[in-house]
Structure 1
Amino acid sequence: MIVPVLLVVAVIVVVLILRATKNPGGLGSGPRPMRRPRPQRPARPLAPDDDPEFLRELERRARRDDGSKNA
């Protein structure tokens, strides 16, 4: 007789915990305030071949070594 009561109490506790985590402010707290977006860092090349300055330098060196533009 005690086991079914404990089972029902355990289920109720789990449901209440899930609701509390879903709505951390409790009942009637209203909508959560919006977070400020993080400031965007300037985009930077991820690899050398993404860097226009690096590519210009490679092209300049190739022309200097070769005397002609590599295709």
Structure 2
Amino acid sequence: MAFVVVLVVAIAVVVLVLRAAERSGAKQAGAPRPRPQRRPVRPVAPDDDPEFLRELERRARRDDGSPA
């Protein structure tokens, strides 16, 4: 019976040591850091793109001579 108790305590100690090592390993300077998640670049609709609207207005003025 004492053997089972010692075995359970030994397993608990090993689990705690592994968890502590995992936490401290992530904080070390040499450990690779996880990369931040990037948002996928989504296309901008023409009516939401300020550069497109400026270019459209410039073309309208050049073609017509008066603002659109």
What TM-score, normalized to structure 1? Answer: 0.44
User: Between Structure 1 and Structure 2, which shows a larger proportion of helix residues?
Assistant: 2
